[in-house]
Amino acid sequence: MAVGIAALSLILLMLAAYRGMSVILMAPLLAMLAVFLTDPSAVPAAFSGLFMEKVASFLKLYFPVFLLGALFGKLIEISGFSRSIVTAVIGFVGAERAIPAIMLVTALLTYGGVSVFVAVFAVYPFAAEMFRRAGIPKRLVPATIGLGAITFTMDAMPGTPQIQNIIPTSFFGTTTWAAPVLGLIGSACIMGMGLAYLGWRRRVLMAAGEGYGAPETLVNEPEPVADEERTPAIIAILPLLVVGFGNLALTVLIPRIWTEEEVSLSMAGLAEPVSVKVAQMAALWAVEGALLLGIATILLFAFRTVAKRFADGSKAAVGGALLAGMNTAVEYGFGAVIAALPGFLIVKEALKSVPNPLINEAITVTSLAGITGSASGGLSIALAAMADQFIAAGDAAGIPREVLHRVASMASGGMDSLPHNGAIITLLAVTGLTHRQAYKDIFALTIIKTLTVFIVIAVYYLTGLV
C-alpha cells in the first residue's frame, strides 16, 4: 500500500505532464495527495515545512543560472548572432551535409549556453531549407536538432553550462568540468551513433521514395532564409567562447581567490554574519560569472541592435526563466515529499539490492527522469532523495565523486525524452510535426543516450579514466 501511494503520485504527475497540464500546479497537489493518503494530519506541515522549503532552496541556488542563461540566449537571438553562427557553420560543413551541419550548429549554440528552446527557434528555418534542398524527409528534422541540443551538449560534455550539468555540483561538491575524459568519451559515442542512425534512416526513407514532403501536407513551414547583412562569424561566436573559457577560468580562480571554507558578510544592519560555503557555490558562481561575461560581450559588439529590442526581449527571457525555474523547483519539492513517504523508503531499500553504485545511480536517475519527463526534474528528485546513499556507496567502492556527478548528469538526459517531455513537445510543435511522424527517431536517440551511460560506466571500470 505504501509503495502504491508513492507510485500513484509519480504516475499521475507523468500523466498530467503528458496531457499538457502545468507541473507548477499539479506537483504540489499530487505531493499533498500522497501525504494525505499516508497521514492526513501531516498535510499542512508537509506543504509549508517540506515542499515549499525545498522549492525555495532550489530557486535560491539555481534561479540566477536560469535567468542569466535565458537572457544570454535571448540576446544571442535578437543581436542576430545566432543567424550568423548558423550560416557560418553550414558554409563550413557544406550544405550537402545537412544532418551533421544542423547537429553541429545546434550543439555549438547549446554548449555555448543557449537554451534548447532558443536553439530550436534559431536553427529550424535553416534546417528546413537545407533538408528541402537535399530532399531529406522533414520527419528527421526534430531528431537532428535533438541530437545537437538534448543529448551530449546537455549533460555529457565537460563544462556545459546547462542546468543538468550544474545540479550535481551542489550535491557532490564537484564542478561542471567533472570527469572530463568520461564526458568526452560519452559525447563521442552519442555523436557517432546518433549520426550513424540518422544517416541510415535518411538512406532507408529516401530509397523508399520519401522526399522532404508534399507542400500541401507541411505545417509550420518557415519562410525561405533571406540573404542579408550579418555580423561576421568570428564576432558572433565570440560570446559562446567567452562563456566556455570564462567558466573554465572562473572554476579554477574562485577557489584560489576564496581559500577559506566559508565567505562571510558582516554589516551593521545584520543581526549576525551571513556565511556561504565556497565549495557548494563555486561551480554556480563560475557559470553565473561566465554568462555575465558572455552578456557583456554581446552588448559590447551589438549594443545598438540589442537596445532596440531589449525591453521586449528581456521580458520574454525573464518569463522563460521563471517558468523553467519554477517547473524544476516544484519537481524538486515534489521529490522531497515523495522521498519522505514510507513507500519510497521501501523502494530506496530495494534499489540497494543493485550492488554496483554507478549502475544503481544510473538506473535510479534515468527512471525518475523518464517518469517526470524532465532531466532536471528527475535528477533533482533522485539526488534530493538519495545523494547521500550514492556518495556513501561510491566512497566505499573508491569511486571519485566526479564520476558520480558525470553518471548522474548523463543518466538524467536518457529516458527523460519520453513523449511527455516539454522540450520534445516544443520541438515537434515548432517543426510542425506530430509524435506519430517524428517521435520514433527521437526515441532511437533516447535509447542511444541511455545505453551510452552504461558504456561510460564500463569504460571507467575497465580503464579507471576520469
Task: Specify the pLDDT at position 178.
Answer: 96
Measured between alpha carbons, how far is 177 from 353 in angstroms, rounded to an integer? 31
Is a pLDDT exceeding 70 seen at residue 454?
yes
- Model confidence pLDDT, tens digit, residues 57-95: 889 988 998 899 889 988 988 888 888 888 888 888 876
Q: What is the pLDDT of residue 224?
A: 63
- Exposure string of 236-250, with b = 16+ CB inside 10 Å and e = fewer, is bbbbbebbbebbbeb
Residues forming beta bridges with residue 338, ordered by sequence position: none
Measured in residues, the chain has a length of 466
Backbone angles phi, psi at 448, to 5 degrees: -60, -45
Question: Which three three-digit cell numbers place residue 216?
Answer: 500541401
Q: Nearest Cα to 71, choosing from 230, 248, 296? A: 296
Arithmetic mean of pLDDT over the chain: 89
Q: How many domains does the chain have?
A: 1
Tell me: the pLDDT tens digits for 250-291? 999 998 888 888 888 888 888 888 888 888 788 889 999 999
Q: Is 396 exposed, middle or buried (0-12, 13-18, 19+ CB in 10 A)?
A: exposed
Highest mean pLDDT among 26-30, 368-372, 415-419, 460-464 belongs to 460-464
DSSP state for residue 258 in the 8-state scheme: -
Q: pLDDT confidence of 235, banded at 50, 70, 90?
A: very high
Q: What's the CA angle centered on 41, arms 40 and 46, to 5 degrees?
A: 90
Which stretch of DSSP H or E encloses residue 263? strand 262-265
Examine the pLDDT at 216 and tell me if it is beyond 70: yes
Question: Which cell is 269 given?
Answer: 544592519
Cell 496531457 locates to 19
With a pLDDT cut of 90, the percent of the chain lying above it is 50
Q: Which residues of 117-156 are buried (b: 16+ CB within 10 A; e: fewer)?
A: bbbbebbbbbbbbbbbebebbbbbbbbbbbbbbbbbbbbb
Express each pLDDT in 120-132 by its tens digit.
877 888 888 889 8
Write out the three cell numbers for 43.
Answer: 498535510
In the block, residue with C-alpha cell 550492488: 355
At residue 147 the predicted structure's pLDDT band, cuts being 50, 70 and 90, is very high
For residue 373, pLDDT over 90 is answered with no
pLDDT level of residue 18 (50, 70, 90 thresholds): low
Q: 226 pLDDT exceeds 60? A: no
Cα angle 342, 345, 347 (rounded to 5 degrees) comes to 115
Residues of the domain holding 394: 1-463
pLDDT reported for residue 229: 61
For 379-432, what is the HEC assignment?
HHHHHHHHHHHHHHHHHHHCCCHHHHHHHHHHHHCCHHHCCCCHHHHHHHHHHC
Look up the pTM and report it. Answer: 0.84
What average pLDDT score do residues 447-459 get?
Answer: 97
Residue 227's pLDDT is what? Answer: 55
Report the alpha-carbon distance of residue 251 to residue 246 in Å, rounded.
8
Region 36-65: mean pLDDT is 92
At residue 370, φ and ψ (nearest 5 deg) are -65, -40
Provide the CA 369 distance to its chain's centre, in angstroms.
11
Residue 158 has pLDDT above 80, yes or no: yes
Start-to-end Cα distance in the chain? 42
Rg over CA atoms, the chain: 22
Average pLDDT over residues 395-399: 96
Residue 275, SS3 per DSSP: strand
Residue 258 and residue 278 in contact, taking contact as beta carbons nearer than 8 Å: yes
Residue 374 predicted with pLDDT over 60: yes
Cell matching residue 239 = 560570446
Residues 290-309: pLDDT tens digits? Answer: 999 999 999 999 999 999 99
Query: So what's the pLDDT on residue 223?
Result: 64
- What's the 3-state SS for 85-147? HHHHHHHHHCCCCHHHHHHHHHHHHHHCCCCHHHHHHHHHHHHHHHHHHHCCCHHHHHHHHHH
pLDDT at 462: 97
Side-chain-side CA neighbours of residue 464 (13 Å): 2
**334, 429 contact by CB (below 8 A):** no
Structure confidence by residue, pLDDT tens digits, 174-206: 999 999 999 999 999 999 999 999 999 999 999
- For residue 232, the SS3 value is coil
Q: What percent of the chain has pLDDT over 70?
A: 97
- Per-residue pLDDT band for 10 (boundaries 50, 70, 90) equals confident
DSSP reduced 3-state for 213: coil
- Which has the minimum average pLDDT: 166-170, 177-181, 351-355, 394-398? 351-355
Tell whether the model's pLDDT for residue 164 goes beyond 80: yes
pLDDT score of 89: 83
Q: What is the mean pLDDT of residues 411-427?
A: 84
Closest CA to 36 of 53, 15, 20, 51: 51
Integer CA distances (angstroms), 310 to 75, 85, 158, 299, 316, in order: 8, 20, 31, 10, 10
DSSP string, 310-367: HHHHHHHHHHHHHHHHHHHHHHHHHHHHHHHSHHHHHHHHHHTTS--HHHHHHHHHHH
